[in-house]
């Protein structure tokens, strides 16, 4: 099978998985306890690393940008720069990459282990759809929690930036806050919330697909876990570009 | 005239009962599982080549064969996990060949499946594993508890009810797997190499469970294996209940004949033998002789 055929085949399989997971929402039984448990594991479980990522990203943005801004006498705009780059780009992308590493690998490894130990077959033999029971709750949990995690990362990024600006460069905190507010427009907020929804679907779908298509025993679990993280991360970066362009055009046309 | 009318009434009143009896008889005579000219190939590799066989109600069908001979494929097809390229598969009289997922889920409720390594859900306790099917059906918890205890008693593992699968030995995992498969009283049980890698006494325990299911519970089953001692036990012993409800295993003697255990051997996707265990042992076919004796 050449690369193009393999790509098309996987695209078809992932689209099919997405469709079936959506159908899982429409019919009973719905697995709400599973959804809550996944939201806890994905959302609450990832909060720590996401907050730390956001905090230090905000800090390093100020650290790198402040001397240049000071050179041009524009240090009062430091907050605006952090807000724009964090809320529009870095917050959603870095959060998604961190979650892809932590949650994507865990989903893929868990489902992959279930495949090689025949637990998925057992589930089907016992009359349960693995897509409905395992895939749908994970995708929905990611879709709900990733925007929330992104907001947390943005918030802590702005706080991190503020602390660095104030403590290292002596910028007045009120000046920083006012600059942040200038840089936070409705367009940035909408962009920053819409992107993680797509990223959540990307992580969930790719990780579940890679996990469920595991072959080759325990070695196969390792391979599919690596593939899940790599494919999720690359697709997040690619999707970010196209989403940014699309949202930019939409925002321009609706004059946000 | 009057008498004739009365007679007619009698016949009419008996008709529904007759129909009921004949329906039950028809059901009894209908094979639990039937394969008709089933083909399957992956790319150029032929897995099953026009395979036809049937499993009668209450019968245990052994499927023997080397690795890659298509044994487990047959089981996956009965469950609808694999679709044939050609031919038809009947389960409980229904042609499941073209069934969609919803219809297959309904059919799977009649089937219990025992996997090679047990395939227990690691994240669930023994209780939750056995109760899985009942929890999915949102059955009342008191009823679930009663049924789980009954099934664990059947496999003699009541003490392990609160344990996690990781705490169980290989044999215990398979017995829990059997208990899980039997919840909901399935009419068909499929065993996929349930004794592979087990020590002889534990393997014997698993075989006794299969005998008990066949003779006491009247379950139709397919027993996929490549271990000849499983066949030895199951095709030569039968289970009886004494007056106290105790189960005894007795060797087939002159007074009984195990008509409900058949053997089928597969090689490269073809059935090369079909008959009784004793006939298999007497076979002159070089491949079968080598399979039985190992040389």
Contact B119 A122 (CB under 8 A): yes
Structure confidence by residue, pLDDT tens digits, A56-79: 999 999 999 998 888 888 888 888
**Could you say which of A29, A121, A127 has the minimum Cβ distance to residue B115?**
A121
**Could you say which of B79, B120, B138 has the minimum Cβ distance to residue A125?**
B79
**Could you say which of B108, B119, B136 has the minimum Cβ distance to residue A117?**
B119
Contact B109 A129 (CB under 8 A): no
Low-confidence ranges of chain B (pLDDT < 50): 1-13, 254-255
Which positions in chain B touch A121 (Cβ < 8 Å)? 76, 81, 113, 115, 119
CA distance B67 to B223: 15
Contact B283, B289 (CB under 8 A): yes
Contact A125 B113 (CB under 8 A): yes
**Could you say which of A29, A119, A129 has the minimum Cβ distance to residue B121?**
A119
Strands B270-275 and B261-267: antiparallel
Distance from CA of A113 to the nearest CA of B (A): 10
Terminal Cα-to-Cα distance of chain B (whole angstroms)? 79
Distances (CA, A) of B156 to B128, B147, B209, B275: 17, 14, 10, 33
Q: Between A16 and B21, whose confidence is greater?
A: A16
Strands B220-224 and B60-64: parallel
| Residue found under tokens 């001692």 | B229
Contact B122 A121 (CB under 8 A): no
pLDDT score recorded for residue B149 = 92
**Could you say which of B108, B119, B132 has the minimum Cβ distance to residue A118?**
B119
pLDDT band at A28, cuts 50/70/90?
confident
Whether the bond between A29 and the residue before it is cis, its omega within 30 degrees of 0, is: yes
Distance from CA of A127 to the nearest CA of B (A): 5
Mean pLDDT of chain A: 91
Whether B42 has its CB under 8 Å from any CB of chain A: the answer is: no
Contact A119 B116 (CB under 8 A): no
Strands B261-267 and B60-64: parallel
CA distance B184 to B95: 22
Contact A83, A158 (CB under 8 A): yes
Segment A136-151 mean pLDDT:
95
Ranges of H-type helices in B48-194: 71-78, 101-108, 126-130, 132-136, 141-154, 170-182
Maximum Cα–Cα distance for chain A, whole Å?
70
In terms of C-beta distances under 8 Å and separation of at least 24 residues, what long-range contacts does A248-256 make, across chains too?
A251/A187, A251/A190, A251/A191, A256/A185, A256/A186, A256/A187, A256/A190
Which positions in chain A touch B133 (Cβ < 8 Å)? 126-127
pLDDT score recorded for residue B8 = 46
pLDDT surpasses 90 at A188: no
> Tell me, what DSSP letter sits at residue A90?
I
Contact B136 A122 (CB under 8 A): no
Distance from CA of B267 to the nearest CA of A (A): 24
Which positions in chain A touch B113 (Cβ < 8 Å)? 121-122, 125-126
| Residue found under tokens 């046309």 | A253
CA distance B65 to B223: 12
Terminal Cα-to-Cα distance of chain A (whole angstroms)? 47
**Neighbouring C-beta atoms of residue B285, cutoff 10 Å:** 14
**Could you say which of B108, B117, B138 has the minimum Cβ distance to residue A125?**
B108
Contact B111 A128 (CB under 8 A): no
Whether B109 has its CB under 8 Å from any CB of chain A: the answer is: yes
CA distance B71 to B151: 27
Strands (E), B200-284: 220-224, 237-241, 247-251, 261-267, 270-275
Which positions in chain A touch B121 (Cβ < 8 Å)? 119, 122-123
Per-residue tokens: B42: 């992956």
Contact B108 A126 (CB under 8 A): yes
User: Lowest-confidence range among A176-185, A243-252, B1-10, B108-117?
Assistant: B1-10
Q: Residues near B104 by Cβ (< 8 Å), separated by ≥ 6?
A: B79, B80, B96
**CA nearest neighbour of B210 among B244, B227, B235:** B235
**Could you say which of A118, A126, A129 has the minimum Cβ distance to residue B101?**
A129
Distances (CA, A) of B68 to B39, B270, B292: 15, 12, 17
Per-residue tokens: B116: 């090679």
Please state the separation of Cα B231 from the chain's center in Å. 14
Mutate to test the interface with A, among B121, B134, B170, B222 (most CBs of A within 10 A): B121
Q: Kindly provide the ipTM of the predicted complex, given to two decimals.
A: 0.78
Contact A125 B121 (CB under 8 A): no
pLDDT surpasses 60 at A13: yes
């Amino acid at each position: 099978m050449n690369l193009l055929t393999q790509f098309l085949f996987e695209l078809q399989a992932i689209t099919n998985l997405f469709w079936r997971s959506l159908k899982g929402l429409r019919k009973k039984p719905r697995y709400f306890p599973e959804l809550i448990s996944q939201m806890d594991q994905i959302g609450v479980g990832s909060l720590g690393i996401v907050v730390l990522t956001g905090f230090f990203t905000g800090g390093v943005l100020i650290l790198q940008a402040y001397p240049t801004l000071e050179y041009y006498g524009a240090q009062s705009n430091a907050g605006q720069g952090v807000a724009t780059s964090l809320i529009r780009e870095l917050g959603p992308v870095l959060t998604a990459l961190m979650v892809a590493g932590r949650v994507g690998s865990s989903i893929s490894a868990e489902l992959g282990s279930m495949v090689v130990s025949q637990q998925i077959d057992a589930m089907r033999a016992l009359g349960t759809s693995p897509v409905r029971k395992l895939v749908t709750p994970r995708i929905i949990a990611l879709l709900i929690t990733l925007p929330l995690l992104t907001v947390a990362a943005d918030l802590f990024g702005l706080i991190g930036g503020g602390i660095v600006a104030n403590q290292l460069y002596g910028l007045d905190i009120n000046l920083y806050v006012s600059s942040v507010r200038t840089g936070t427009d409705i367009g940035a907020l909408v962009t920053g919330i819409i992107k993680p929804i797509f990223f959540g679907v990307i992580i969930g779908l790719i990780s579940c697909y890679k996990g469920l298509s595991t072959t080759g025993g325990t070695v196969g679990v390792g391979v599919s876990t690596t593939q899940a993280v790599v494919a999720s991360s690359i697709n997040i970066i690619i999707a970010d570009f196209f989403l940014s362009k699309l949202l930019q055009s939409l925002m321009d046309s609706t004059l946000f | 005239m009057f008498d004739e009318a009365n007679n007619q009434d009698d016949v009419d009143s008996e008709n529904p009962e007759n129909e009921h009896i004949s329906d039950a008889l028809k059901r009894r005579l209908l094979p639990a599982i039937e394969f008709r000219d089933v083909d399957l190939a992956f790319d150029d590799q032929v897995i099953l080549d026009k395979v036809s066989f049937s499993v009668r109600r209450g019968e245990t069908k052994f499927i023997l064969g080397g690795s890659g001979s298509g044994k487990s494929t047959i089981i996956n097809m009965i469950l609808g996990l694999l679709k044939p390229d050609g031919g038809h598969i009947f389960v409980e009289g229904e042609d499941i060949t073209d069934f969609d997922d919803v219809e297959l889920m309904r059919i799977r409720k009649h089937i219990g499946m025992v996997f090679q390594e047990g395939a227990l859900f690691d994240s669930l306790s023994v209780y939750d594993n056995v109760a899985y099917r009942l929890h999915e059906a949102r059955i009342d918890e008191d009823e679930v508890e009663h049924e789980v205890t009954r099934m664990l008693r059947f496999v003699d593992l009541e003490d392990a009810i609160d344990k996690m699968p990781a705490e169980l030995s290989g044999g215990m995992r398979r017995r829990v797997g059997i208990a899980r498969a039997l919840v909901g009283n399935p009419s068909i049980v499929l065993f996929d190499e349930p004794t592979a890698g087990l020590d002889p006494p534990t393997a014997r325990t698993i075989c006794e469970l299969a005998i008990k299911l066949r003779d006491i519970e009247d379950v139709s089953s397919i027993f996929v294996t490549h271990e000849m001692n499983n066949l030895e036990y199951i095709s030569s012993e039968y289970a009886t209940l004494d007056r106290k409800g105790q189960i005894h295993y007795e060797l087939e003697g002159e007074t009984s004949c195990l008509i409900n255990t058949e053997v089928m051997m597969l090689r490269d996707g073809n059935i090369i033998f079909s008959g009784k265990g004793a006939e298999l042992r007497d076979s002159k076919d070089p491949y079968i002789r080598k399979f039985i004796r190992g040389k």
